[in-house]
Amino acid sequence: MSATRKPSVLFVCVHNAGRSQMGAAFLTHLGAGRVEVRSAGSAPAATVNPAVVEAMREVGIDISAETPKVLTTEAVQSSDVVITMGCGDACPYFPGKRYLDWTLDDPAGQGVDAVRPIRDDIEQRVRNLLTELGVRARA
């Protein structure tokens, strides 16, 4: 990444109601404004999964006002890193973009107890991503 420009990251999952919302929330929180963050879904749900909202609240991050967004070609084109989380081939591919596929359990239909380990896995992956991007995570 250029020293004068913030890196941009797009998180994509099918419904944009769980995994990608958690990824975006952790990157927004831990990146403290030093990363441009987006999330989207190939088939967005109507609302964010309530168990995901609760699990994130437990770690001090409020995503209750977030809404699932539709994946657009423009969102992919304007991102440096695209992280897919189970969206299959629905994500457009552009040469020169960095694509990461994070294999994670889907929190859809799960309770908070099942969401916690997914949340914790995503947090660790986001911390590792920040290190790779050369961005210091907020303490």
Of 17, 52, 87, 135, the active-site residue reads 87
Of 14, 25, 40, 91, the active-site residue reads 91
Residues 6 or more apart from 137 whose CB is under 8 A from it? 30, 31, 127, 130, 131
12 is catalytic: no
Of 9, 10, 12, 13, the active-site residue reads 13
13 is catalytic: yes
**Residues carrying an active site annotation:** 13, 87, 91
